[in-house]
Amino acid sequence: MSKEKTVTLHKSVKPYANANNRKSTVQLLNTIPPLLLVWTLAYLSLSVSIWLSIGLAIVASGLLVRTFIIFHDCTHGSFYNSKKKNDILGTITGVLTSFPYKKWKREHAIHHASSSNLDKRGVGDIWVMTVEEYTNSSKWQRLAYRLYRNPLVMFGLGPFFLILISNRFNRKDAKKKERNNTYLSNFLLVALCGVIIIFLGWKAFLLVHGISLYMAGALGIWLFYIQHTFEDSYFEEESEWNYVKAAVDGSSYYQLPRILQWLTGNIGYHHVHHLAPRVPNYNLEEAHETTPPLQYATTITIKTSLDSVRYRLYDPESKSFITFGELKRRTRLAASESKQSVLKPTTRASIQSK
């Protein structure tokens, strides 16, 4: 993509990169109070039906995802015009969703600055290995990677790791403010959970909060995974990497039914978000619809997104993700061709001797 087109595309979405305090407040009111209400009803309904409580906990998980999108906008400074408001609201919604605000804000900023860059992987993104890296890895490294990319591990155990381990500890290079914010988030989260357990019991807590946090975590990991893992996703080495191409070609447009689009805060327009992170979630759809070049981004539906679960390795040569099965077939074919190339000269020599 030329420099001119890059500048033009940035300019086209700039009008949407402004927070509307009224819209933000409305979104806050139609998300947080309903979440707290559904949680309350889930606990109260335990005396009526455990299945009703589970159903309400599942509904709460959807509202938690929407709450996370508000948290996510705060980390980009795009939800309110005021930095102070974003920081306060970000910390509060971070406690509700179990994410430390400043820690995740920094890691996510790194993700945006290096998304799809093969030379800058490892912070704020999903572990991706190239075909060559995987082939040259040790047996234990390959096993670790296979386990990591296994759907049962990524989406089944992933939420436990995210909530209980990854989000609870600071990175070694974290500065004082970031560390203190994580400590504060942990303290408030433990205090909140402790109060619920003391008054309602740990079984009730695990049934309601446990289910809603777990399911929201699994949905969040799925969204993050599918938005960057699709067959022809964009990845390049540093020398060839382009920010705009990484945004438009390396992020998908996840086309969802209206109710799911609402619950996920329009984050399905992920290509728009990566192009202009300061666009608040409630402006993403309009930015997409009024900017023709953005409509060429890879569109994924719920049905087609399921195919991406099979993709494991990125092949820089074909510019696409491949499965472990495809790598196995390639390896067998290469071995067969190599064997034939060794045998052919021997066969010719045998004929000549006769």
Share of the chain above pLDDT 70, in %: 94
Q: Which pLDDT does position 231 carry in this prediction? A: 87
- Predicted confidence (pLDDT) per residue in 96-108, tens digit: 999 999 999 999 9
Q: Which pLDDT does position 5 carry in this prediction? A: 65
Residue of 282, 228, 287, 277 whose CA lies nearest to 109 = 277
How big, in percent rounded to 5, are the helix, strand and coil portions of the chain?
Answer: 70, 5, 25
Split at pLDDT 50, 70, 90, the class of 289 is very high
Give the Cα separation of 222 and 108 in Å (integer): 16
Residue of 49, 58, 51, 53 whose CA lies nearest to 211 = 58
Q: Which pLDDT does position 227 carry in this prediction? A: 92
Q: Which pLDDT does position 1 carry in this prediction? A: 54
What mean pLDDT value characterizes the chain?
92
Q: Which pLDDT does position 154 carry in this prediction? A: 96
- Predicted confidence (pLDDT) per residue in 153-178, tens digit: 999 999 999 999 999 999 999 999 99
Helix 83-97 crosses helix 32-44 at what angle (to 10 degrees)?
20
Q: Which pLDDT does position 274 carry in this prediction? A: 94
Start-to-end C-alpha separation, the chain? 62
Q: Which pLDDT does position 45 carry in this prediction? A: 97
Give the Cα separation of 293 and 150 in Å (integer): 35
pLDDT beyond 70 at 185: yes
Q: Which pLDDT does position 107 carry in this prediction? A: 95
